[in-house]
Amino acid sequence: MTATASTARDRWTSAARHTEFPLIVHSHLRWDFVWQRPQQILSRMAETKPVLFVEEPVLLDDVRAERLEITQPSPNVYRAVPRLPAYLRDDYDRAVATIRALVQEAVGKGGALAGRFTGAVQWFYTPMPAPAMLGAFNERGVVYDCMDELAQFRFAPTDLAQRERLLLENADVVFTGGYKLFKSKSRYHGNVHFFGCGVDAAHYARAREPETAVPADVAALPRPVFGYFGVIDERLDYELLGRLAEGNPSASVVMVGPVVKVDPRDLPQAPNIHWLGQRDYRELPSYVKAFDVCLMPFALNEATEYINPTKTLEYMAAGKPIVSTAVADVVHNFTPVVRVAEDHDDFVRAAAALGAAPDEAMIARGIEQARNASWEAIVAQMRHLIADAVTAPDAAIAAVEAIDAELEADDVLSTSRELTAEGLSAGGVATAGEELSA
């Protein structure tokens, strides 16, 4: 192959790898819930192509006709919330078929989003709608971003694992949010990639800035403040939180986040435990600034076996000491910056020790680790992998054949030029000309 051919092929390969596609995303989480992996990734994906974020349905007793509520919560992100009649509550497959029809109408000719999602890639955060959605949008590829082992969560549908197997069989590329998840899913798919936590380091670095004000509801609390932000659900160890408050009666335990799938009445109560509820993502650096020690008080159970908490790097970027239970991916990815406790007593002692004397060397190391783990870098790598996985082989072959034909002409012209040069050097202009016209 000539240098010209090699260069052309390189150009084509580079173009294929940088191809961008619209995304139709199916999520079990809501866009306005805690800002985490889906929002971080998809808001950046939307910088180049539109994203349609399809949520699970809201089932209402006073709704007679189904409808799709479409809003735009972020630039180039379209949020679709299906509002369905309550009688579909006990028939998931019928409900998801209704959602499919609503989305098809929205993206089809004459729909509210007509023309924006032609040739889209379907992206799944949950396998549940996969049987109904796979192939429904003439998609050019399928992505499964497996951020949790949902089958092990409380109240998980009994057929979730079966639906996931179908999704894995049809996915072109699989991403996982944890290393242990990567090992697990690699048994069922040949194109699995581990992308753990990313972080908006600049956002959380605001916690280190003098001008960032601490919110009034935590500013006057007794110190040290042991703080957590995130979802408050079955993944947390509530006995541990009670022990932490009891073992440090002069300290404050602050829990920021929505309560999900646990009864608020079952949360440990003490004068120095403060359940503040959900706060806006933009406010989190201000709250972290108030924390003397950041907590990751996860229970070691089925729900946490595969988690890789996003908040780890966020705490690091804020420049705070961190204590965690022995979650596998935290141990694998974040020690020794994170102080991992062996048991409840060790956790209580570690929190007290870090509150009294933070390890400045580990804090500095954490800040640097956060700087090197941007969401932008993760999204750039994902884009390349998606483009490689979903570029249709037939189209690739046709493109290469077209380039080959073009290159043959280039080679003939190049050969002719070489012959002309040889003829000119030997005084044989006419001979070279005759060869060119033959």
The pTM is what?
0.77
Number of helices (H) and strands (E), helices first, in the chain? 17, 15
Q: Quote the mean pLDDT of the chain.
A: 87
CA separation for the pair 63, 66 (Å, rounded): 7
Cβ-based neighbour number of residue 283 at 10 Å: 13
CB within 8 Å of 321: residues ≥ 6 apart: 292, 293, 294, 339, 354, 355, 358, 359, 362, 363
The residue with tokens 């239970």 is 325
Amino acid at 197: C
How large is the average pLDDT for residues 32-44? 94
Is the Cα dihedral 414, 415, 416, 422 positive or negative? Answer: positive
CB within 8 Å of 17: residues ≥ 6 apart: 384, 387, 388
Distance of alpha carbon 23 from its chain centroid, rounded? 13
Q: What is the pLDDT of residue 425?
A: 34
pLDDT of residue 438 exceeding 60, the answer is: no
How large is the average pLDDT for residues 276-291? 97
pLDDT of residue 237 exceeding 50, the answer is: yes
The dihedrals phi and psi of 350, each to the nearest 5 degrees, come to -65, -40
pLDDT of residue 376 exceeding 80, the answer is: yes
How large is the average pLDDT for residues 190-211? 96
CA separation for the pair 402, 132 (Å, rounded): 37
User: What are the tens digits of pLDDT across the range 132-186?
Assistant: 999 999 999 999 999 988 778 877 888 899 999 999 999 999 999 989 899 999 9
Q: What is the pLDDT of residue 392?
A: 53
How large is the average pLDDT for residues 345-353? 98
CA separation for the pair 387, 70 (Å, rounded): 28
Q: What is the pLDDT of residue 264?
A: 94
Q: What is the pLDDT of residue 24?
A: 98
DSSP 57: P
How large is the average pLDDT for residues 384-409? 61
* Banded pLDDT at 63 (limits 50, 70, 90): confident
Task: Name the β-bridge partners of 80.
Answer: 54, 70
